[in-house]
Chains A and B, each alone.
Chain A
Amino acid sequence: MTHFTRKTFLAALGALTLAIGAPSHAADQKLVLTGASTVAPLAAEIGKRFEGLHPGVKVDVQSGGSSRGVNDARQGLAHIGLVSRDLNPDEGDLTAWRLALDGVGLIVNKSNPVQNLNRDQVIAIYTGQIRNWKDVGGPDLPITVVNKAEGRSTLELFLHFYKLQNSQVKAHVIAGENEQDIKTVSANRGAIGYVSIGTAEFEVSQGVPIKLVANQGIPATVENVRNGRYPLMRTLNLVTKGTPSPLAKQFIEFAQSSGVQDLVKEQYFVSANTSR
C-alpha cells in the first residue's frame, strides 16, 4: 500500500512537472471567458457544448460584471470578455461580437393593476416625485422603489435610457442579482423594480407573483425584444482585443452559429441571428 501510494505520488509529481513544463501548450487548449453575470451562464452552456465538440479544450467561465469583461479582455487576463451592453466610445480598442439580445423590463407585484408606464412616469417614480400608485392609475398604495447596485450593467442601461444620474434615484431597496429584485417585488405589493425580460418571463411562467409592465405602450416580451420594438434593450456581446486567437475565433463563430440557438432560448434570451 505504501509502495503504491509512493508510486502514485511520484506519478502525480511527474504529471505536475509536465504540466508546469508545458504552459504554452496548456494555454492553447484553455479558453478563459470573464464578465457579465447576465452572459456568464449562457457562455458556460455554450462552453460545455464546445468542449464536447473539441476534446482537449477547456472553457473556463467566470462572472464578475461587464466592467470586468472589458478590463480582463484588455489586459489579456481573459481570451474573451463577456459584456452585456454595446461597447462605449472609449472602448474602441476592443472588438464586439454580438451573441444575443436581452430586454430590461419593469416589474411590479402581480396584484398591482398598473399595466403600462410611460417615460415621464418612470422617471417621476424613480426620482421620488411620485410616491403613490394612485398617481399613475393604481391603488392607494405607497411605491417601493427597487434599484440596482452600483456597477451592474442593468443599472447602467436603465439610467442611460431614462437619462438619470444614480444620485438622483430615490430608492427604498437596492438589489444585487436579478433574483433579489424578483423576490423583493413578489413579496411587496407596492414594489417596482427592473430585471432582464427573459428572466422575468421565466419566473412568471413558474408562478412567481410578479408582472412585467409595458414600456410606452409596448408590452415587455421576448418577442418585442426580438423584433426590435421594445425600446429598453441591450446586446450581449463577446469582446476581444485585437485579432482573437484561432481557438477564440472558433469559439466566437460557434457561439454565433445556429448550433447554440436552443441554449440562447433556454436562458430566455433572444438570439441575435434572427434579428438581422
Chain B
Amino acid sequence: MALVSGAVLFVITAFVLREAWPALSEVGASRFLRDRAWHPTEGSFGLSPMLVGSLASSLGALLIAVPVGIAIALACHFQASERTALRCQRLLGICGGIPSVVYGYWGLTTLVPLVAENHPPGTSLLVSSLVLALMIMPTVALTSRAALARVPSAHVHGGHALGLSRDAVALRIALPGARSGVLSGIVLALARALGETMAVLMVSGNIVQVPGSVFDPVRTLAANIALEMAYAMGGHRAALYASGVVLIIIVCGLMLVAQCLTRGHHE
C-alpha cells in the first residue's frame, strides 16, 4: 500500500516536472525567484511574492489554530465529561469535513465586508489566515487529542499521585508527552493550509505582491494555479506548473522537517 501511494506521488511529481520543464529550461529557474512581478503573458515570472503569500497566510493560520486547537484538545481530554468530549470530537469531525468552498464563501460574504469597513478592500492576508485557521483547527484539535490519549496513563496517574493539580498534569506532563503527535498534527494542518485553494482564492484578493500589512491582499501559489490554469496556454501554462513544482518542494521539505522533529524527540 505504501509502495502504491509512493508510486502515485512519484508519477504526479514527474508529470508536473515534465509540464513545467519548458518554463524551467527556457525562462530559467532563477528568474522565477528573481523576477519582481508576475505577468506571464508579458514575460515576467516572479513567483516569490506568491511564495511569501502562501507562507504568510498559512503561518498566520497556524498562529491562530494551534493554540485554540491544543486548548480544545486539552479541555476535551482533561476537563470535559466523557459525553461532552465525545460530542466535541464529533463536532470537530464535522467541521473538518465541511468543503473548503463553504468556508471561503462565508469568508467572502461575512468577514470580508466586516474588514472592508475599516480597511478596504477587505480581501486580505488577515481574512485568508482566519478562514484557513478555521479550516485547520479541527485537524490540530483531533490529532492533539489522539496524541494526548496515547500518553501512558501511568505518567498521568503518577502526576495525580504526587498531588499535582489537574492543570499541572495537563500542561506539564501530558502535553510534553504528546509532543511528537501534536507536532505531526500541526505539520499536517500546515500542509493542508499551504495547499488550500478555493477558500483562499475567494478571500485573499489575489494580488501578486509582498504584503506590507495584514490588511493587504495576497495571492498564494495554489490560488495562482486555480485562477489562471483554465485559460493558460504555452509558456504561461508551463509557468503555472512551475508554481506547482515550488509548492511540491515546500510541502516535501515540510514533511522532512516534521520527520526530523518527531524522530529527534523519540531518541
Contact = CB atoms under 8 A, between A and B. Distances in A.
Contacts of B236: 150-151
B120 A64 contact: no
Interface residues on B, range: 20 to 34
A67 B231 contact: yes
A173 B205 contact: yes
B120 A172 contact: yes
B201 A176 contact: yes
Contacts of A63: 230
Contact of A166 (B39, B116, B217): B39
Contact of B116 (A67, A165, A187): A187
A151 B120 contact: no
A187 B122 contact: yes
Interface stretch (B79-87, B106-114, B245-253, B256-264): B106-114
Given A171-B207, A173-B206, A188 B109 contact: no
A169 B206 CA distance: 14
Interface in B135-169: none
A77 B206 CA distance: 32
A64 B180 CA distance: 44
A71 B232 CA distance: 11
Nearest to B117: A189
Interface residues of A, number: 31
A188 B116 contact: yes
A271 B206 CA distance: 34
A67 B233 contact: yes
B120 A142 contact: yes
Given A166-B42, A176-B201, A187 B230 contact: no
B129 interface: no
Contacts of B230: 37, 63-65, 68, 151
A114 interface: no
Interface in A120-177: 142, 144, 149-152, 165-167, 171-176
A152 B219 contact: no
Given A151-B236, A174-B227, A183-B108, A167 B206 contact: no
A191 B219 contact: no
Contacts of A172: 120-121, 123, 205, 207, 217
A103 interface: no
B74 interface: no
B42 A184 contact: no
A152 B231 CA distance: 6
B231 A180 contact: no
A190 interface: yes
Contacts of B42: 165-167
A172 B227 CA distance: 15
Given A150-B40, A174-B207, A144 B120 contact: yes
B37 interface: yes
Contact of B217 (A64, A142, A173, A190): A173
A276 to B, nearest CB: 30
Given A166-B39, A191-B121, A150 B116 contact: no
Interface string B20-40: 000000000000000001011
Nearest to B44: A167
Contacts of B37: 167
Interface string B186-202: 00000000000000011
A170 B246 CA distance: 26
Contact of A174 (B116, B206, B232): B206
B231 A174 contact: no
Nearest to B206: A174
Given A71-B233, A180-B202, A187 B112 contact: yes
Nearest to B123: A173
A195 to B, nearest CB: 16
Contacts of B109: 183, 187
A125 B22 CA distance: 37
Q: What are the nearest 6 A-B pairs in CB distance? A: A151-B231, A65-B231, A144-B121, A174-B206, A172-B121, A149-B227
29 contacts: A63-B230, A68-B231, A68-B233, A71-B233, A142-B120, A149-B227, A150-B40, A150-B228, A150-B232, A151-B228, A151-B230, A151-B231, A151-B233, A167-B44, A172-B123, A172-B207, A173-B121, A173-B123, A173-B206, A173-B217, A174-B205, A174-B219, A175-B206, A176-B227, A180-B202, A187-B112, A188-B121, A190-B116, A191-B120
Interface of A: 37, 63-68, 71, 142, 144, 149-152, 165-167, 171-176, 180, 183-184, 187-191
Given A71-B233, A174-B206, 12 more contacts: A64-B230, A64-B231, A149-B231, A150-B39, A151-B230, A172-B205, A174-B207, A187-B108, A187-B109, A187-B113, A188-B120, A190-B116
